[in-house]
Structure 1
Amino acid sequence: MNVSTEHRIDVVDVTERVEAELPAVDHGLCTVFVEHTTAALSINEAEPHLVDDIEAFVAELSASDGWKHDALDGNADSHLRSSLFGRSVCVPIRDGKLALGTWQSVLLIECDGPRTRSLSVTATPSVE
């Protein structure tokens, strides 16, 4: 699944897209993995003010220059920021749907946009 971002630091709710890509599993575990080193995933509330707060928080996590990797491609801060969140999330599957809490959403956190990001969605059935 591909997700386009619009800003250098951007938070995109991908919950519905993940659920649409979910393999046919009644009960199990869904893993969502972002196939990039300057983007991350998190489970949190997708409320617009909180999304703005997450973007501001991510922007403040690291100085944007002065890193050794910047000599290569100028985005060390993006690698550092995304490393704090991680590249994957796991969500239980119940009755063929993501079993998220009332206010939980799967959020893609872009740290080096705008870009098009690839997400992998896999499902592991429960052993009964």
Structure 2
Amino acid sequence: MSWFQKQFTLPSKSRGSYLITDEVVKQVPEIGQYKVGLLNLFVQHTSCALSLNENWDSDVREDMSDALDRIAPEDRKGNLYRHSAEGLDDMPAHIKSALVGASVSIPISNGKLATGTWQG
């Protein structure tokens, strides 16, 4: 049995929901060496999150972003949240990250991520 740990950085993007599966696979080519395994991804940021969701229809990503915006709206008037030192959009980002989570685990099978048909 073997395992490895690797740290990598993906380019920053503006607020939203993005499909990063292909970028992750490029950053971790070692996946191809494993017949059976588990990829654990963890984001080291308190206002960013990871989820495994539909990869076919980009409307799903937009709807997820819209739903999270309704749950944790930006504080345009400055009276919703106490923490506002880093901008009116910062506290909502922390809430969204806490709700969605900072990590995701994906099985590896025969050198590939074993995601469902529409997962990505």
Q: Quick check: TM above 0.5?
A: yes
| Cα deviation 1:69-98 (Å, max 9, x = unaligned) | 11x223111101111000010000011110
Please, which of 27, 32, 36 is the counterpart of residue 27 of structure 1?
36
Which runs of 5 or more structure 2 residues have no equivalent in the other structure? 1-8
Runs of 4+ in 1 over 3 A off after TM superposition: none
1:20-59 alignment, distance < 5 Å:
20-22=26-28, 23=30, 24-46=33-55, 47-59=57-69
Task: Report the counterpart of residue 80 of structure 1 in structure 2.
Answer: 95
| Cα deviation 1:41-80 (Å, max 9, x = unaligned) | 001102111111111112111132221111x223111101
* Greater fraction of residues in helix: 2
* Greater fraction of residues in strand: 1
Task: Report the counterpart of residue 123 of structure 1 in structure 2.
Answer: none
Larger Rg: 2
Task: Report the counterpart of residue 3 of structure 2 in structure 1.
Answer: none
Greater RCO, CA 8 A, separation 6+: 1
Secondary structure in 2 matching 1:43: coil
Which runs of 5 or more structure 1 residues have no equivalent in the other structure? 106-128
Q: Tell me the percent identity.
A: 34
How many equivalent residue pairs? 102
Looking at structure 2, the residues matched to 2 and 21 of structure 1 have their Cα atoms a distance apart, in angstroms, of 9
- 2:116 corresponds to 1:101: yes
